[in-house]
Structures are given as structure tokens and as C-alpha cells.
Structure 1
Amino acid sequence: MHVHAAESETPIQIEVRGSATQYDARREDTSTRIVVTQEEIRKYGDGTLADVLKRQPGISISGGAAGRGGEIRMRGLGAGYTQILLNGTPAPGNFTLDSLAPELVEKIEIQRAATADLSAQAIAGSINIILKRKVQSAQRELKLRAEHSNVFFSPGATLQMSDKAERMSYTVGAEVRNGRFEQAYEQLEDGWDGAGRQVLQRKVARQNNGSFRSLSLTPRINWTLRNGDTLSWQSFVRSQRSHSQSEGTWSATPAEALPAYPFDRSRPEDQRSQLRTDLTWNRTLEQGQKLEAKFGLDAGRQRSREHDAGYGQARQPRLDRDVRNANDGRGATSTGKYSETYESGHQFSAGWDVAQQSSEVARDSLETLDPGAAPTPEQRRYDATLRRLAVYAQDEWSITPRWSTYLGLRWESRRSRSAGSDFGAIGNATNVLSPIIQSLWKLPDSKQDQLRLALSRTYRGEDLERLMPRVTRSLNNSQVAPDRTGNPALQPELAWGIDAALERYGSDGAQMSVAVYARRISNYIHDDTKQVQGRWLALPVNDGRAQSRGIEFDAKFPLRSLLPTVDKVDMRFNLTRNWSSVSNVPGPDNRLASQTPLTANAGLDYRFNASVSGGANFTYRSGGPQRLSASTSSYSSVKRELDMYALWKLAPRAQLRVTAVNLLAEPATEVTRYTDSGGSLRNTAVYPFSAILRLTLELQL
């Protein structure tokens, strides 16, 4: 900006500085969201995004070893209740958070309530992973990492490069990783007859070992055209290879209670490749209106082989099964948005969202049941297609400086079709209309306090794998280790939900919030286990209604706000308590989808001096018993994790980050039980976990 004191005087140049990072989306946006910044993502030097997310309010990680990923759960719910987005678009079906290094991510948006411009497939909420977009001139950053525990070792490296030209800029990230692991654990099976007398006890000692290697690329190129339009091309490419071996040795009382194969061996091999690419066009019209269109393609290729062998008590061969699977997936997406801001305070937008996903599966097996017997070949072919069409409109209205509302309406149609060599074509069609209302009210006579309220309709739709009625067979088939199949007749779960939060924001980044939520769900989906042609089979079915509710507390603050003499310490604490019940599953403990009842985090960061900083975080996740259906139940143990990190700035362009993960190294216990009029069978597995030491050398080249 230039200001002239007089026509003959030299112009005085005034520089006005501002930064988008000063905008606090969590505080100012009408739609509720938590933004995990690049600083938070990098702080602990995490190996997976799951470890980044486990410290966030309302999020827990189920399954997986510490430092090696797991299922992401919001409000204790995963398995399709939590929507995972990649750059605002639903992630491909075979995408996992383990496949993306934290260094390749710019930020993560956690949305408790739905918005109309994103898919409403988010009963628990959405996690939107934004790949690197920001471009810095001539940036070259290299990270060398090594992870080690007594059962796991994995070296790796990431490289981030970016640069700018007159009308073009680019950024590209790459990660290579290698690893090997070994783990020993035990499973115990107990059986009782209909009168409650114990009739069997058998135990299997298992030894697993294997290795993997992977390569990930995330290139992005931005162009500014001569007419002012912008084009952005961004891709995610990943290739992974893995193989492992699992051996189990059974013992039993009485001896005749041994399973069909007292000694078993499984050798799976897996090769996966994945591509996701998007081209985005933006134009600003003369009156300030904006147009955006995005076109995307994704493709996945998986080749796997599993060689299963079963042996008798004298180690004589009794089963030899060689299964080869080929899975090819393809998809295309198209989204568009028109947006306009009015002087009356309205920010209106409308658009479309179209997608198609298809999967072709080939399964070839060769099975020999007895030595000398002729092998039995089997070939099966499956294909499935899922089409999604959605249109939406939304309006964010600043009614007064202290009160704003968000109104959204999304109509989404889903059409699926599956066919196979052993079943005819089956189609399914559903339509979901999702009205969404959100409101933000900054309380009178206060610069710190504000109240949020949201009402929404969301749904949970199954992926293609769960819609295909192909059978995956277990080796020692039983009530607690059944075969599994999909169900093309599944209808999506539908939910009405309400969210409310009271928030307080102080100085120096201090913030505190108390949030509550409730969901009422119809068409609840759970697995039904039953005998089919002499084998136990688990099939997903729609069955009744469910309810979920909870409360969440979250606080961050510098310790000097409580103790003025203590400087350089930042504190954080969050706690979430969840409750749920399912109408057609007898109680008690008839919770939704293995919902985690209680999660908590407590952490601190300390700046020793300009060169050294560090911190620690304690994570708690409760377990307990759960009824899954009228005949099946489960139990999981409490999970406690303590992580610590230290960062040394060795030179202006080099620093060393040391992280200790899961220092408590507590084992995990998982129990599955099946009960009917004939008796019950219980499977108990105890998995030992170990602490992980991670070293990361970060270099600015």
C-alpha cells in the first residue's frame, strides 16, 4: 500500500503483514472442526498417522501394535462409523493410515458433525487428511529414521522437495520404508456343555514373523493461467510388498479335544499397488463468485498368495491348501462447487459429487485333504460396482457479529451390484437425504466463551468387500474362528444426531471445551454367526436400532496461566466417555460395534532452551466385556501407553528427534465367546507388546 504526503514527495511504502496461520478454524468456523497442524504432526516423530491421532480428543486406536497403526475410532466407533477422507474425498477402499507417512501430510481436520459438501457417511465423524500443498522456494528436507524394539526393526527415509517459478510451483514427497518383525503369543480355548460343565481346554502357541517394504510418493503441481485461473494436480502413489509365516502348536485336555489340525502353518504373501490422482480447476468470476471442479481417478492392484498346511498329532500332513487371490479396483470421482459471498453476510455454495468404484476378484485354490489324494482345484470370480451421486447446497450466515448459522442439505444416492461365479447378479439401491444445521453463538459480555449446536442426519454404508457374498475360510473352523462372507442385501445404517459444545479461549493459546453428543441409529449392522453345511459362518445383517451418546472434555494451556513462576511448559488433557446400546442384542454391555467406553490423554511439552525441547504423553483406553449378538460376546483389556520425545537442534539446518513409544509395554488380552443352548466356547488371546525406540535425523539440504 502506498500513501503520498504530497504530489512531489517521495512515496512512503507501508508493509502490511498477515498470515493465514493466525486464523483459528476451531474457534471461528461455524462448522465444528479441530485442525491438527504440521507442528503437532511432526512433534513426536510418529511413524504412522494413527499415533498422531491417538492424542487428539475423542479419538482412539483399536488393534495394531503401538507405533504400527491400527483402526481409527471417533467416539469409540470405527468399522465404517468414522469416515476417512483424503483431500476431502472418501479414501479408496484399500487405503490405510499405515500407508501414509506423517511427513507427507500438511494438516488433519477432525469434524465432529457433518457438512453438506462432504459425504454424510460419518455417523461418528470425519477425519480429513490433507496432503502437502504449501510450497516453499527451493525447499529440500531429508529425514532418516530407524525404529527398533525387541520384536520389530524398521529403517526408512522421507524426502520433501518444493520450488516456485513465475506461474508454476511444485512439491513432491517420497517415503521408503523397510521392516521386519517377529511375535510369539498364546491363545486358549475353553468349552462348556449345556449344563455349564467344562468339557475341554486347549491351547495354541503361535509364532509369527515376516518382513515388508514400501514406497510412497505424493507429487503436487500448481499452475496459474494467464486469465487468473488455477490448476492443481496432486497424486498419491504407493507400492508395498510383504510376506510372513505363522505356526501354531495345539495341546488339549482331554486329548480328543484337539482341533482337526493340531499343528498348522500359514505362509501369506502380499503385493499391493495404489494410485490416487486429482486435477482441480479454480476460477474467480468478475463479481467475486468462485467455481471449483475436481476430477479424480484411483486404481488398486493386489496380488496375494496364502499357503495353509494342517498336520495331525504325529505331524503327518492332513491338509494342504494353496490360495491365490487377485483383486483389481478402479474408481473415478467428479466434484464441483459454486460459491458466492453476499453483503448481507451469507456465504452460499452448491455443488455435486459423483463417484464410481469397481472391484474384480479372482480366487484360485488347490486343496489336498489327505496324503496321496488327488488335489481339488477351485476357481471363483467376483465383481462388484458401487456408484454414488450426490448434490448439495449450503449457506453460512453471519446473522450478527456474535451469532452465525450453517444450513446444509445433501441428497446422496448409492447403487451397488455384485455378481460371481457361484451366485447371480444382485443389486441394491439406497437414497439418503441429509439436512444439517450448525450454529455458533459467542456469549454476550464475553470475549472468551462461545456455544455450538449441530443437528444432522448421517449414514454408514458398507464397502464393496462386505457387499460381495464370497466366503473366506478359516483353517480350524469353529464358533470363535468362523468362515466369513459378505451380504449384498445390506442396507445402510441411518442416524439422526445432535452435537453441542461450550468452549472457552484464553490468551497464549489456552483453550477448553466440553462437548456432548447423541445418535439414534436404524438398520444396525452386526455379524450373525451360524452353521452352514457343517461349517461355522459369520454374515453381516441388518438388525434393529441402536443409540449412542457421550461427553468429551478437552483443554490446552501454558502452565504459567496457573503457576506464573513456571514458564516454558505447555499442558494438554482430554477425556471422552461413550455409552451405547443395541435394541436387538440382550444386555448388559450391548454396546455398538465394540465401542471404546473411555479414552483419555494427558501430555506436556517443555522447552529447555533454544536448542533442546521435549515432552511426554500418556494415553488410556478402557476395555471390558461386550455383547455382540444374542450368541457372541467379547472382552478387551485396558490399554495404557506412555510416549516421550526429545528434540535437539544440532545446527541451523540439522536436528535430531528421539522418541520412545509405549514405554509401559503392557500386553493386550482379547476374548471372543460363543454361547447357545448346547454350551459355549471361549477363545482368549494374549498379545505381548514392547517399547519402541525411534531415532530421526532431520536435514535441510
Structure 2
Amino acid sequence: MTRTRRPALHPLPLALMLALSAPAWSQTAPSPATATPPAKAPDPAARPRPATPPAGKDATDNPTQLDRVEIQGTSRDDDQRRAATASKIVIGREEIERYGDATIGEVLKRLPGVTTGGRPGRGGEVRMRGMGGGYTQILVNGERMPPGFSLDELPPEQIERIEVMRAPTAEFGARAIAGTINVVLREALQRRLNEIRLGSTFERGDVSPQLSWTRNDKLDDSGNAYNVTVNAMQHKRIDDNDSRSLTRTYDSTGALQRETLLTSAGQSRDDRKALNVTGRLQLRLDGGDTLAIQPFLMVNRGSGSSFASQTQTPPVDDFERIKYDSYSTDSATRASMARLNLQWNKRLGERTRMETRLGAGRMRMNSTTHREEDRIDSASPFYRQQDDTTRSRDTQWSVNVKLTHQMDNEHNLVAGLEGEGTQRDQTRGCTEIYGDTMRRDNCAYLADFGDNVSASQRRFAVYAQDEWSVGKQWGFYAGLRWEGIQTDSSNNQGPVRNSSSVLTPLLHGVYKIDEKSREQIRASLTRSYKAPNLNDVIGRLSINSQYTCNPPELPCGPNLINYPDRLGNPGLKPEMATGIEIGYEKYLSKGGLLSANFFYRRITDLIRSQAVLEAVPYAPVERWVVRPRNIGNARTYGVELEAKFRLDEYFAEALPVSLRSNLSLFHSAVDGIPGPNNKLDQQPRYTANLGADYRLRSVPLTLGASLNYTPTTLLQQSEQVLNEIDKKRVIDLSALWTFSPSVGVRVAASNLVPLSYGNGSVATTPGRIVTSDSTGRSFTVWTLRLELKV
């Protein structure tokens, strides 16, 4: 599993120094700033301070010239963060736009403890605390999206803010062992905004244009307002895919019998067009009630192609022989999602209000794939052609009722009911041709499993919480939530049912060291859980194409551990976790922040997908099958350090450069799996970020740069399999030239110094060791965008 790697810039010492030594810099008394910072919400305790006049001149020399003033204070995002009892990070429009990111994943990767999957510069699956596999709860406007939805399908222009909650709360749900990310779409604010953004990204010679339009305005003077955001884009990507697999076979004495090397080289291409429309109509009703109507529409069309050739050295004659020398695929997909949310806020009294939210949506996806495999071998000719058409439809509904009552003794009581349902119907039609004579008109050759799936998942919850203050320095939160989930599915195997229910108590507290909340300590003790997702329970059988079988024409033989079949597990139980959070925050006078947060989770009934050799009904011999399984218990803990501040706050003569840095350290251990790499899925040892931005004084130019680094990760997946996940080092640059308050041009580069990225594994079974490795190049993604406010 050894690979040649390019040297990486290692930010760990620098980020650690910034995060831990910043308080010591405060020994130097700051001087008045000489430049106006980016716009911040004013702090009531802050006072305007006059700028220092140039040497040799007096401000009274020109009585008509006004002194430049600076309003110091924390940002509106940090105000929301420090006002919350439970630990929360809020990312607003300013931070979302700072580096001109093309995806939400690229925005989130810079936050403490957040990592993303996939190749550098591409966004990808978002994970908190480095924990993959559904430990992070993803919400859009407080609602869970249907299966198959990805945050990267939402363009950043459609997002008002992002709320990151490190510990679960009763209101947002306890399905958040790692934490919760809630994406809030653009809101109908009562101010006029008519913004157009026209741009394009450039990667590997491909041009991906994008157009977005946002309109925000009042309907009248009574408070009725609306917002509409439209985003149209075309996306093109090319990926190189190279892999190698070395199989060593040993006899009973441990002597090496044979080495077989399998190499593969290929390329894939993806071309996608998407239209996203979101809106919000805010209406004020009689009696102070409000009604919000929020439609959301997504339409996606795409096509893709791939090809690869593989070579086996030396050729072998047993079941390890490759089934084809080359393959090519062509595919086309169409997806659409429409959702409508209604939110009604009603006053029931002077201190009591009720919030009712109703949601309904449908997501459709159609895909067709044509695949050809060929083997050039006169002794055993092989040719297979497969046409696959899959249609799926997900229907989703949700009901939420929340009652809030403010009491005299500063208790804020909240109680709520929730209901949610998802129905999935999926059909598959497939045709396969083997050579000139063998033909089947349906790929569902395993009749016991079938290709048509109908499944539903229903969730109901009830919760209550109390948030109160004791004096001016103590704040507490106590919550209790019960949640039940039931999954039903039907296929040729008959009905399948999976039911679970959990009770989760939640406690949070905050101590304000000073009454203005500039320095505070947080603590949480919570229970959270991770429910099996729909695909884990009902996952349809997938036969590995390298060791395929098609009875009765072709016998089902054995396969290898690195080429397993895949199947769901209807007997899964939810994972339960007990968690502790302890954090410290210090808010600086110029909008900066220093924080340190420690977390711990003890997890029971851990779910992990593992390959196990088992008897199967479709083969006379045992085959390796990957299923999600409850394998035992685990624990994880870590610390998240964050420092963001203006450089001139600690160095009197420094430029007003805004620095942002964070360092997150992780550790985990899974019981029953040998160490030292028995970690939770995909969790790295640490992740670090360092960023800076500066608004020049002489020209209307704002510059920004950031570095994101995640080291190579070794993961003991099971007793037999050790995985390696490659390091990620992403350097981003951004420049914004503001011609006027309404016209700006942004140039950005993501993944400026690209590295190859890949994964590897070592699988050890009796008499056999298989070492596998796959790599692909990454590329710089350039963005050019014109930003207009009409």
C-alpha cells in the first residue's frame, strides 16, 4: 500500500500556534486602526474612535473634511453564536461569499472539525468531527431532505446562513451524534435587493457557466415581503482513474506460491445541467400572525461516460482470472425535486405562540446505462452487453407543531410534535447479452431478490424543553425527546419491517464570565442516536461485476474479499451515544473570537459495513458479502481550537488583516477490532485550516487566501481489511474588485496546488493477501464572476 507522495505543506504547527498563543499577544496594547474594516453589526458598548491624522497635519486644516471613524464590535453571526445556550456556529452571507466557493462543501470545510469527502476542490459529503456514514444530521430549513439529496446541489447564492450545532437539541432532533448542520435558504427580508451573478468555473479545460438572480422586496408597507432566487448552471468534469491490485497466495507453510498483479487505467466524464429555484412569501395576518410560503424546485439533467482497460500479469486459470479486458459505459440521468413548505406563526396570548409547519415534496430520478465488457482471449471468448434503466420516486411529507411560552421567572418553555414520512418506489429494467448465444431479457436473474422495491419510512417525535437564565451570568437548557422510526419494504423476498424508538435527555449550560458575554464557558450532557437509513435496511442485492454469476447459464463461483457483493440488512438496530461537550469562548473587541471545545462520545451498537464470507442462496459456495452490521461499541473524543481576529488587535503597527485559523484533533477506538487504527469510519487524526483576507486601502480590492489540510488516514475496517485514505491539502485564493457599491468582479482559485488523491487497502485472509490502490489526479478550479446589484 506504499505510494509515492508529493511533499505537503504542513499547517499543524502554525495553526496550533495561532489558536493557542493569541491570548498571550494581548499583552501588547492595541492602537487605533487606520483602515475601515468590513461591515459589522455595531456593539452597543462600542464607541466610535477617530482615525489618527497624517503626520505633520491637523484635522482642522480642512474644516470641510470629516474624520474617518471606526465602529468596533462583533459580527451579527457571532452575536447569535454567543447568545445561544447550546454550542452553535453561525455562518452568514459575508462568510459564505468570502472566497467565492462554488459548493457548500467548500464553504463548510473551513469550519472547526468539519471535513469533506471526495477529491480536493470538489466539495463532497460533509462530516463533523471527521465521522462519516450519517453521524452528521443535515437539514434544510430545519427539514430532512429525501434520500439521494446532496448539499452540493444547493448553490451558495441560495443560502441565507448556515447553522452548525455541535450538540443535539430537542427541537432540531437527536439524530446527530457528531452534530447538526442546518442550511437556511434566503429569507424575505424587508429591504430591496435585486442581485445578478454571472460567472463560470474552469477545470481541466472545461467551462461550466452559471447564472443566478436574487430578488428581495416588500409587497406593501404592512410587512408583507417576498424573496426569489433562481440559479442555472452547467457542470463538466473529467476524472482519471488508475488502480492496481496485487494478490499474493501462500501455501500452508507460509511460503509464497504466486503473485498476480491487476492494473487498470481509465477515464470518466460527467456533464450536468441544473436549475434551482427557491422562494419565500412572507405575509402578515390579522392579530400579529404571520404566514410564510416557501417553494423549492430542482431540475437536473446529466450524461456521463467512462472507459477502462485492465491487464492481469501473469494470466491465471482459476477463478481469479479477470472476466474482461476492457469496458465502456454511457449513461444519462434525469432528476427533479419539488417541495412546498408552509409556516404559520400564531399568537395565542401575550407570551404564548404556536408555530405550525407543513411540508410536502416529491423527488423523481430516471437513469439509463449502457455497458459493454470485452475479453480478447481465443481460448475463452467473452462479451457482455448490458442496458439498465432505473426509475425511482420518493414522496415526502412532514408536520411540525411547536408551542412556546415565556414565563415570569425567565423560563422559556417549548413543546412540540413532529411527523415525517418517506415513500420510495423503484423499478428496474435490464437486458444482458453474453456472446452470440446466451441472452437474458431481464437482469433480475436472482428471482428471490427482485429488482422492484417499494419501501416507506415513518418517523414520529414528541419533545419538551425549558431554557432559562439565573441572574445575568448563568443560562441553562433542559430537554427530553422521544422519537420512533418504522421502515417497511416489500420485494420478492416478502415484507421487511424494522422498528426502533429512542428516548434522549439533553442538558446544556453556559456561564458568562463577564456580564456582556464577551467571555463564557459552555457544557453539555446529551444522548443522541443514529438510525439506520433506508438503503441500509432495504439495500438491493448487487453482484460484483468482476466475479459475476448468471444462473443457470453461468455457475455462481466464489469471489474475493476486495470484490464483494452488496446487500442491505433489515435487522439493524440504531446506534446510541452518550456525549459530553465543554467549551470556552472569548469574543474580541474588533469582531474576533478565541475558542476551545472538547467533546466525547460513547457509542453502542455501532453500525459498520463489513465484508463477511457467508452462505448465500444464489451460489453453491460461500461468497464475500458487504452488509451494514451492528458490530459493538466505540468511543471518540477530541478538541477543536479556533482563533479569528484582526492582526492589528495584537500588533499595533500591523495591517488590518483578518486571520482565521482552527485546529481539530480526533481520536476514536472501536471495540472488537485490533488497533492501533481501529477508528470510526473515515475519521482522520486531525484537520487544520488557516485563512486571511485584507481590504486594500488605496484600491477597491479585497484579497483572501485559505489553506485546508487533512492528513493521510489509516483505518482498520475489520480484522481482515486495513484501509488508507489519502491526505488532502487545498489552497484557495480569492480577489474581489469593487468598481462601485453595485458592481464587482471576483476571481477565485480552488485547489491551487493540486495533488493526486486516492485510496488503498490491504485485505488479509487465510493463504492470501490482497493489496489494492486507486489514484486520480486533481486539478485547480478557477472561477470568474460578475456581481451586480441593480
- TM bucket, shorter chain: over 0.9
Match of 2:493 among 423, 431, 440: 423
1:329-353 Cα offsets, whole Å, 9 max, x none, are 1111000111111221111110111
Q: Is the 8 A contact 1:250 1:258 kept in 2?
A: no
The one-letter amino acid of 1:377's match is N
Deviation digits for residues 75-105 of structure 1 (CA, Å, limit 9, x no counterpart):
0012110010111122222210111000100
Amino acid at match of 1:382: V
Which residue of structure 2 lines up, in the alignment, with residue 575 of structure 1?
663
TM-superposed CA distance for 1:317, in Å, is 5.2
2:496 corresponds to 1:433 = no
CA-to-partner distance for each residue in 1:45-75, whole Å, 9 max, x for gaps?
A: 1110000001111101111441x32110100
- Asked if 1:503 corresponds to 2:585, the answer is yes
- Structure 2 vs 1, CA of residues 35 and 445 (structure 1 numbering), >3 Å: closer, same or farther? closer
- 1:371 Cα deviation from its structure 2 partner: 2.4
Distance in structure 2 (CA, Å) of the matches to 1:23 and 1:600 = 21
Deviates more, 1:440-449 or 1:627-636: 440-449
Aligned with residue 414 of structure 1, among 472, 485, 490: 485
- Structure with bigger RCO (C-alpha 8 Å, 6+ apart): 2
Offset of 1:21 from its aligned partner? 3.5
Task: Please say if residues 656 and 696 of structure 1, whose CA atoms lie closer than 8 Å, have aligned partners that are also in contact.
Answer: yes
CA contact (8 A) 2:131 2:682 kept: yes
Distance 1:594 1:151 in 2: 32
Give 3-state SS (helix, strand or coil) of 1:92's partner. Answer: coil
Matched, 1:49 2:104: yes
Among candidates 704, 723, 727, match of residue 638 of structure 1: 727
**Equivalent pair of 2:238/2:270 in contact (CA under 8 Å):** yes
Aligned match for 2:348, one of 285, 298, 306: 285
| Alpha-carbon distance change, 192 to 317 in structure 1, aligned in 2, over 3 angstroms | closer
Instruction: Name the counterpart of 2:787.
Output: 698
2:747 alignment partner in structure 1: 658
State the partner residue of 1:181.
237
Preserved CA contact (<8 Å) 2:140 2:184: yes
Asked if residue 604 in structure 1 is aligned to residue 692 in structure 2, the reply is yes
- Whether contact under 8 Å (1:451, 1:500) holds in the other structure is yes
Tell which deviates more after alignment, 265-274 or 154-163.
265-274
Aligned partner of 2:291 in structure 1 is 231
The whole-number CA distance in structure 2 between the counterparts of 1:445 and 1:159 is 43
Aligned to 2:128: 74
Alignment partner of 1:260 out of 310, 318, 323: 323
Supply the distance in 1 between the matched residues of 2:484 and 2:439 (Cα, whole angstroms): 49
Three-state SS of the structure 1 residue aligned to 2:442 is strand
Deviations 1:556-594 (A, max 9, x none): 110012211113201111000111111122222010112
Q: Secondary structure at the match of 1:689?
A: coil
Whole-Å Cα distance in 2 between the matches of residues 70 and 221 of structure 1?
31
Aligned partner of 2:599 among 517, 539, 547? 517
Amino acid aligned to 1:24: D
How far off its partner does 1:446 sit? 9.0
Specify which of 372, 388, 392 is matched with residue 309 of structure 1: 372
Q: Which residue is 1:395 aligned to?
A: 466
Does the Cα contact within 8 Å between 1:161 and 1:172 map onto a contact in 2? yes
3-state SS in 1 of match to 2:535? helix
- Deviation track 1:464-511 (CA, whole Å, cap 9, x = no partner) reads 122114113332244223232211111111101001101112211121
Moved more, 147-156 or 454-463: 147-156
* Superposed displacement of residue 314, structure 1: 5.2
Taking the aligned partners of 1:313 and 1:526, their CA distance within structure 2 comes to 39
Question: Post-superposition shift, 1:602?
Answer: 0.4
CA distance in structure 1 between the aligned counterparts of 2:632 and 2:312, rounded to whole angstroms? 39
1:218 offset after TM fit, Å? 0.4
Distance (whole Å) between structure 1 residues aligned to residue 666 and residue 689 of structure 2: 15
User: More deviation in 313-322 or 595-604?
Assistant: 313-322
Given that 1:90 and 1:119 are in contact with CA atoms closer than 8 Å, whether structure 2 keeps it comes out as: no
What TM-score does the superposition give when structure 2 sets the normalisation length? 0.84
Q: How far 1:182 moved relative to its partner?
A: 1.8
Q: Residues 568 and 608 of structure 1 are in contact (CA less than 8 Å); yes or no, is this contact kept in structure 2?
A: no
Partner Cα distance (2:326, 2:284) in 1 = 64
CA deviation map 1:247-269 (0-9, x unaligned): 11111211236511121122232
* Greater CA drift, 89-98 or 372-381: 372-381
SS in 2 for 1:568: coil
Q: CA deviation at 1:186?
A: 0.8
Cα shift at 1:298:
1.8
User: Do the aligned partners of 2:683 and 2:713 also contact (CA within 8 Å) in 1?
Assistant: no
Quote the Cα distance in structure 1 between the aligned partners of 2:332 and 2:562: 25
2:648 is paired with a residue whose SS is helix
Work out the CA distance in 1 between the residues paired with 2:84 and 2:612. Answer: 49
Instruction: Give distance in 2, aligned partners of 1:499 and 1:620.
Output: 24
- Which one of 352, 355, 358 corresponds to residue 423 of structure 2? 358
Kept in 2: contact 1:202–1:258 (CA 8 A): no
Letter in 1 for 2:225: S
The residue type paired with residue 60 of structure 1 is T
Amino acid at match of 2:235: G
* Contact 1:527–1:629 under 8 Å retained in 2: no
1:219 aligns with 2:275: no
| Equivalent position amino acid for 1:185 in 2 | N
Partner of 2:59: none
How far the C-alpha of 1:555 sits from its partner, in A, is 0.7
- Where in structure 2 are there 5+ consecutive unaligned residues? 1-72, 445-450, 548-559
Q: Is the 8 A contact 1:172 1:217 kept in 2?
A: yes
In structure 1, what is the equivalent of residue 142 of structure 2?
A: 88
| Secondary structure in structure 2 of the residue aligned to 1:24 | helix
> 2:309 maps to what in 1?
249
Q: Which shows bigger deviation, 285-294 or 543-552?
A: 285-294
Q: Do the aligned partners of 2:201 and 2:207 also contact (CA within 8 Å) in 1?
A: yes
Cα shift readout 1:415-462 (whole Å, capped 9, x = no counterpart): 111111x21101111111010000001126996421110011101112
Determine if contact 1:69/1:97 at 8 Å carries over to the other structure: no
2:403 to 327, 338, 358: 338
Report deviation, 1:369: 2.4
Matched to 1:223, the amino acid is: L
Contact 1:249 1:262 in 2 (8 A): yes
Higher strand share: 1
1-structure distance, mates of 2:673, 2:171 = 35
Which residue is 1:6 aligned to?
Answer: none
State the partner residue of 1:159.
Answer: 213
Which whole-Å CA distance do the structure 2 matches of 1:442 and 1:560 have between them?
A: 26
Counterpart Cα distance in 2 of 1:268 and 1:633? 33
Cα distance in structure 2, aligned partners of 1:396 and 1:450: 17
Aligned pair count reads 682
State how far apart, in whole Å, the 1-side matches of 2:290 and 2:457 are. 31
Contact 2:344/2:357 (<8 A) preserved? yes
Q: Kindly provide the CA deviation profile for residues 297-346 of structure 1, in whole angstroms up to 9, marking residues without a partner as x.
A: 12110111122221103596511121111111111100011111122111
Is residue 2:616 matched to residue 1:528?
no
State the SS of the aligned residue for 2:157.
Answer: helix
Q: Structure 1, residues 176-232: CA drift from partner, whole Å, max 9, x if none?
A: 111222222310111112437352111000111231111100011111112321100
Alpha-carbon contact 1:361-1:382 (below 8 Å) kept: yes
Distance 2:528 2:519 in 1: 29
1:616 aligns with 2:687: no
**Per the alignment, in what secondary structure is the counterpart of residue 55 of structure 1?**
coil
Q: In the alignment, residue 311 of structure 1 is paired with which amino acid? A: D
Please report the TM-score for the alignment, with normalisation by the length of structure 1. 0.94
Structure 1 SS opposite 2:632? coil
Question: Which stretch shifts more, 21-30 or 73-82?
Answer: 21-30
* Alpha-carbon distance in 1 for matches of 2:241, 2:462: 50
Give the structure 1 partner of residue 630 of structure 2: 542
Are 1:474 and 2:544 counterparts? yes
Asked if the contact 1:594–1:628 (Cα under 8 Å) also holds between the matched residues in 2, the reply is: no
Q: 1:151 to 1:185 in 2, by over 3 A?
A: farther
CA distance, structure 2, for counterparts of residue 662 and residue 573 of structure 1: 18
Asked if the contact 2:146–2:394 (Cα under 8 Å) also holds between the matched residues in 1, the reply is: no
CA contact (8 A) 1:331 1:355 kept: yes
The one-letter amino acid paired with 2:749 is: A
Moved more, 191-200 or 539-548: 191-200
Query: Are 1:151 and 1:182, in contact at CA under 8 Å, matched by a contact in 2?
Result: no
Kept in 1: contact 2:82–2:517 (CA 8 A): no
CA shift in 2, pair 1:200/1:302, >3 Å:
same
Structure 2 residue 114 is the aligned partner of structure 1 residue 26: no
What is the distance in 2 between the residues matched to 1:23 and 1:51?
21
